[in-house]
Amino acid sequence: MRFDLLTIFPGIFDSFLGESLLKKARDKGLVDVRVHDLRPFTESKHGKTDDAPFGGGAGMVMTPQPLADALDVLKKEGPAKTILLSPRGNPFTQEKARELAREKRLILVCGRYEGVDERIVEHWIDEEISLGDYVLNGGEVAAMAVVEAVFRLIPGAVGSPESLSGESHEAGLLEYPQYTRPEEFRGHKVPDILLSGHHENIRKWRHEQALKKTAEVRPDLLERLGEDAPIPRFSIALVHHPVAGKNGNEIASSITTLDVHDMARYGKTFGAERIYIITPVADQKVLVERMKSHWTDEEYLKKQNVRREGTVELLVTLPSVEDAVAHARKRSKRVKLLATTARREPGAVSADQWRALAAEEADEWIILFGTAYGLGKSLMERADRTLLPIDGAGAFNHLPVRGASAIILDRLISRKRKEPK
């Protein structure tokens, strides 16, 4: 692969090209990096490559003539993708690095001053790329970053190809923590799991740590992963105990026919394994059984012209959430709880973030919906994850449970439809 770097400060690249793996890759002939000084291409007798902007304003703008002439000469040597390093360009990501690594030749134009004459961008540049949301003095450092990220993806450039697969961003996650000798350093020990020799457990631990670090530092990456993540197995729990009362104390709330009826329909619609009705009150359990019997009565169904057996059979009434977990473990080994709330809790995740985490963290999730004033404090503390609340138009945020649950299930389970271009 060949890189052509066009700059007014060619000396900046000397040490960069003469050290480390990039030097070895050049010596092996895996990559060809050529630095071109822009100044010899200018027609200015003073060697100028910039001028004041039309319309006024601070700073100077790189003039089109030397850039156009230099690019014309370089492009005569063969086809190449021409990139301008610019703070207004497309974000440079690992995915973009992989895309560029498939090119045979890249011309990287290092912008300076207030930018490049727009006519160059429109007629000589294929793409603008930015390292991030900040401004550098010029594009040279950005060009180094592009070369470094791209060349190491070329087969043979890095000693062990396996070392690339676990790195930050390769799988859409930040990298897991790394440790080396000694096993204990100034009272700080290496995690026992890494010394166990159990490769599968180590793999799982590393993945869990990568997910944790990504959720803490770059939750936006989980958002992207979640868009394409598989839908995990899940059940729904409509909780009547422990739930919060008006004063925040934990109470048992009453079952209503509408809540049970609608939760059953939501569960069937979105593909839940079970719909758990959680109540320790015996009379309330009898009420649910009466509802189920009524909704499956043949005479009633004929009268209403509707079939509900497929929904009612998913309903299971249990005295506690722990009983629901035990029930789910008969079909799924790892069962975890996802709490929903109208409050914004520390560490809460969005729908896409949860979907990115869900399949790896558990075989089945039970999504908890609280009646009354929401899930009780003890149950919130017991949950493995908490979902971000539904944000309304103002300060009021107290949707009925069946309304909130429909919105939440749609966000968690439904696939996003891409609009045709």
- Taking only the tens place, the pLDDT of each residue in 181-195 is 999 999 999 999 999
Q: Which amino acid is at 59?
A: G
| pLDDT for 183 | 96
| pLDDT for 75 | 97
Mean pLDDT throughout 355-383? 94
Structural domains of the chain in order of their starting residue, each with its CATH number: 2-151 (3.40.1280.10), 184-217 (no CATH), 232-413 (3.40.1280.10)
153 pLDDT above the threshold of 90: yes
What phi, psi does 150 have (nearest 5°)?
-85, -45
Sheet bearing 385-386, strands edge to edge: 315-318, 275-278, 234-239, 364-370, 335-339, 385-386
| pLDDT for 168 | 54
The β-bridge relationship of strands 364-370 and 335-339 is parallel
Label each residue of 54-121 as H, E or C.
CCCCCCCEECHHHHHHHHHHHHCCCCCEEEEEEEEEEECCHHHHHHHHCCCEEEEEECECCCECHHHH
Top mean pLDDT of 63-77, 163-177, 337-351, 401-415 is at 63-77
Whether the Cβ atoms of residue 3 and residue 17 lie closer than 8 Å to each other: no
| pTM for this model (two decimals) | 0.73
Q: Predicted confidence band at 162 (pLDDT cuts at 50, 70, 90)?
A: low
Report d(CA 304, CA 295) in Å as an integer.
Answer: 10
Of 265-274, 327-336, 343-352, the least confident: 343-352
Express each pLDDT in 323-338 by its tens digit.
999 999 999 999 999 9
| pLDDT for 166 | 52
Express each pLDDT in 6-64 by its tens digit.
999 999 999 999 999 999 999 999 999 999 999 999 999 899 999 999 999 989 999 99
Residue whose tokens read 């979902």:
387
Cβ-in-10-Å burial (0-12, 13-18, 19+) of 307 comes to exposed
Quote the percentage of the chain above a pLDDT of 90.
74
Cβ-in-10-Å burial (0-12, 13-18, 19+) of 196 comes to exposed
Q: Predicted confidence band at 160 (pLDDT cuts at 50, 70, 90)?
A: low
Q: Predicted confidence band at 252 (pLDDT cuts at 50, 70, 90)?
A: very high
300 pLDDT above the threshold of 80: no
380 pLDDT above the threshold of 50: yes
| pLDDT for 238 | 98
| pLDDT for 304 | 64
